[in-house]
Amino acid sequence: MVQPRPVRTLSHTAHPLLLALLMLGGCMNTPHTPPHPAAPARLDIPAPTTVGLAPASAQLWAADMAQALQGQSVAASARSATAGAWWLRLQTRQAGGQVIPVYTIMTPASTPRAAQDGAGIAQTLWQPDGGGTVSPAILSGMAQDEAPRIASLLTGIQAAAMEQDPNSLKHRPARVFFSGVTGAPGKGNTALASAFRAAFPDTHDTLTHHRAQADYTLNCTVRVSDAPPDSDGQARQHLDIIWTLHDAAGQEAGGITQLHDIHAHALDGDWGETAPNTAHEAAAAARQIIDRYSGRTNTPLPPPAP
């Protein structure tokens, strides 16, 4: 349910003679784009009516939960459960002089799929004036504290749905349509595209020549600009190699940016080992994006107890 938009940034400086690509650093950010909708594509959160809260506090609790879950990349909305939607039931129970929030993920058929208890709140804080009005700070804190755990449950639900779907990416390789490379100097467009086509396919991912059959579409653009001269005064160029992956619905699944500083015009002809080295790194990063975005490596949530 919760896959975030991965952006891989790789920085390189070319060797003065060999133009070998030396990795200086990199980072992987988690995505903030909804995943392939194998399970809850959205989550409605109705204001609770049986927890002893005044209507305004009940509505605020639902709104705070929606906002906190949106921060976890869940498409949550504070509203009554709509037809065909999964929803989150907000309840409470009493234990040891405390009010225990209970969060239950409900299927579109309004059957419980998973439940999670929150941290207890002192009874005197839950209804300090006897009228069911709770401090907004308490409701916000409850939501922020619980949202990551609810998001984890949703991720497990998505993984369980994928496990049961024989056509999901848990059971077959992802099909990627690669549109090629544009903007590279010299023979880079052809060399880099050929190197990527050789480096990418494995048992988990494959390339397809048919865009309509693809789970993802990948394109690559190279941008060249002047860079400051090196310490010896020699002219240099800066290369941005940008790979962008989109899902079958056209939503951006992730991006990879490789940064290269080279001697000016060093790649105006053959790319030598630069193409396979660059393609190998891009292929590995693209596989990671597909893993995270699709949720295929997530652990399925066990079915509810009978």
Domain that residue 215 falls in: 7-34+169-294
Same domain assignment for residues 189 and 289: yes
306, part of any domain: no
Same domain assignment for residues 135 and 173: no
Q: What are the tokens at 268?
A: 């105006």
Which of 50-72 are b and which e, b meaning 16 or more Cβ less than 10 Å from the residue's Cβ?
A: ebbbeeebbebbbbbbbbbbeeb
Q: The domain that contains 65 carries what CATH number? A: 3.40.50
Which residues neighbour 199 within 8 Å (Cβ) at sequence distance 6 or greater?
276, 279, 280, 282, 283
Same domain assignment for residues 12 and 70: no
- In Å, how far from its chain's centre is CA 109? 27
Same domain assignment for residues 85 and 107: yes
Same domain assignment for residues 87 and 146: yes
Residue with tokens 């069911």: 132
Same domain assignment for residues 25 and 136: no
Same domain assignment for residues 60 and 174: no
Digit-by-digit pLDDT tens for the chain (306 residues) are 444 444 455 544 332 222 223 222 222 333 333 343 345 778 999 999 989 899 999 999 999 999 999 999 899 999 999 998 999 999 999 998 899 999 999 999 999 999 999 999 998 888 766 677 889 999 999 999 999 999 999 999 999 999 999 999 999 999 999 999 999 999 999 999 999 999 999 999 999 999 999 999 999 999 999 989 888 888 999 999 999 999 999 999 999 999 988 999 999 999 999 999 999 999 999 999 999 999 999 999 998 877
How many domains does the chain divide into?
Answer: 2
Which of 256-276 are b and which e, b meaning 16 or more Cβ less than 10 Å from the residue's Cβ?
A: bbbbbbbbeebbeeebeebbb
Residue with tokens 């699709």: 294
Same domain assignment for residues 145 and 55: yes
Determine contact, residues 71/88, Cβ cutoff 8 Å: no
Same domain assignment for residues 105 and 125: yes
Determine contact, residues 238/216, Cβ cutoff 8 Å: no
Phi, psi (degrees; rounded to nearest 5) at 155? -60, -40
Same domain assignment for residues 268 and 180: yes
Same domain assignment for residues 59 and 131: yes
Cα separation of 238 and 240, whole Å?
A: 7
Phi, psi (degrees; rounded to nearest 5) at 239? -110, 125
Query: What predicted TM-score, i.e. pTM, was given to this entire model?
Result: 0.76
Residue with tokens 């394109």: 219
Determine contact, residues 294/169, Cβ cutoff 8 Å: yes
1, part of any domain: no
